[in-house]
Amino acid sequence: MTFDFSTLFWIAIVVIALQPLLMGRWFTVRRAQAIRAIEKKHGTRVITMIHRQEQRRLFGFSVARHIDLEDAQTIIAAIKETPDTVPIDLILHTPGGLVLAAMQIARAVEAHPAKVTVYVPVYAMSGGTLIALAADEIVLGEFSVLGPIDPQILGFPAASIVKARDSKPVADVMDLTLVLADVSEKALAQVKRGAVELLTPRLDQGAAEAIANKLAGGHWTHDYALTAAEAKGLGLPVRVGMPIEVMGLMKLYPQPIQQSGVEFLPIDLPRRPRG
């Protein structure tokens, strides 16, 4: 059987076209194996929400992954089908997303009768932190971070919009600013109330309100990196020590091919002289 150049060309095209699908399937199988290994080692049900592709491009448009209603639906279903006596390990890696979706997930986490541990290998910001507040324990790596949960209105911090309105007489404030400030006050109250709801099963009302006011009150910028020490200082149930198997699982969520600008080679240790 002979192949001419045209046949080889089309075979190459088919191989190139199928490569992403085959690689995706390979990573899916590897992730399933890694998750099953963690479940056996910890004696838990593992659920992941990994938004690893934080920034990619599709047809020239920027596409970002965040917590959305599809995530909420899937995670809630996974939690509800988990037996009440089985602990859950929820692995989070997310920049945040919809408050509605994050609160739905958080309430499902809080309602699970057995222990729920949230693992944050790198970061769980905004809505991710809101979900973490519902956990019995939050496990962070040495350099992992959480973030503020202050609501954003049209890309601006709600607390800052209210502050801008209150900084001058009402007669000098634009109608649009007044409307945004009204919405901002409602958003701030709703997020604080939700955070208190999630915290009160483990903390008294006063402590829960203090944490909610600190995280949602606009004391930091929205991308502020809340370290493990600071989170502990607030009174959150934080433990430092990310299991190596969780970090290994993160490697199976590769970024899309892109020019990242970050490269490194394996360490080439010097050989010891033979005596």
Q: Which of 201, 222, 243 is the last residue of a domain?
A: 222
Q: How many domains does one find in the chain?
A: 2
How many helices (H) and strands (E) would you count in the chain? 9, 11
Confidence check: pLDDT of 61 > 50: no
Q: Are 86 and 114 in contact (CB under 8 A)?
A: yes
Phi, psi of 47 (to 5 degrees): -125, 135
Q: What integer best gives the mean pLDDT of the chain?
A: 87
One domain, residues 132 and 199:
no
How is residue 31 written in tokens? Answer: 């992730």
Q: Mark whether 240 and 142 lie in a shared domain.
A: yes
- Give domain status of residue 126, yes or no: yes
109 and 177 inside one domain: no
pLDDT band at 259 (very low <50, low <70, confident <90, very high): very low
Could you tell me if residue 111 is inside a domain?
A: yes
pLDDT digits (tens, 9 = 90+) for 11-45: 667 667 666 666 667 768 888 899 999 999 999 99
Position 178 in a domain: yes
Are 231 and 184 in a shared domain? no
CA distance 225 to 234: 14
Q: Do 132 and 146 touch, CB atoms closer than 8 A?
A: yes
- Under 8 Å CB-to-CB from 47, ≥6 apart: which residues? 75, 78, 79, 88, 89, 90, 91
Residue 261 inside a domain? The answer is: no
Cβ atoms within 10 Å, residue 163: 13
Percent of the chain with pLDDT over 70: 79
Note whether 90 and 197 are same-domain residues.
no
Q: Tell me the CATH number at 134.
A: 3.90.226.10
Q: 87 with 155, same domain?
A: no
Look up residue 41 and give its amino acid. Answer: K
What pLDDT is recorded for position 253? 83
Q: Give buried/exposed letters for 3-26 (b at 16+ CB in 10 A, else e).
A: eeeeeeeeeeeeeeeeeeeeeeee
Q: What is the pLDDT of residues 154-189, one digit of tens each?
A: 999 999 999 999 999 999 999 999 999 999 999 999
Alpha helices (H) along 112-174 = 127-132, 158-166
Token pair in block for residue 178: 């007044």
Angle between the 175-199 and 205-216 helix axes, to the nearest 10 degrees? 140
Residue 137 lies in a domain: yes
The reply to whether 157 and 247 lie within a common domain is: no
Lowest mean pLDDT among 51-60, 135-144, 151-160, 229-238: 51-60
Q: Are residues 218 and 229 in the same domain?
A: no
260 has pLDDT over 50: no
The range of the structural domain enclosing residue 128 comes to 18-147+225-254
Contact 105, 131 (CB under 8 A): yes
8 Å CB contact between 135 and 237: yes
- Do 195 and 104 have their domain in common? no
Task: Quote the CA–CA distance of 225 and 64 in Å, as a whole number.
Answer: 20
In a shared domain, residues 22 and 82? yes
Tokens of 131: 């979900």
Is 70 in the same domain as 177?
no
Residues 165 and 78 in one domain: no
Task: Measure the CA–CA gap between 45 and 109, rounded to whole angstroms.
Answer: 12
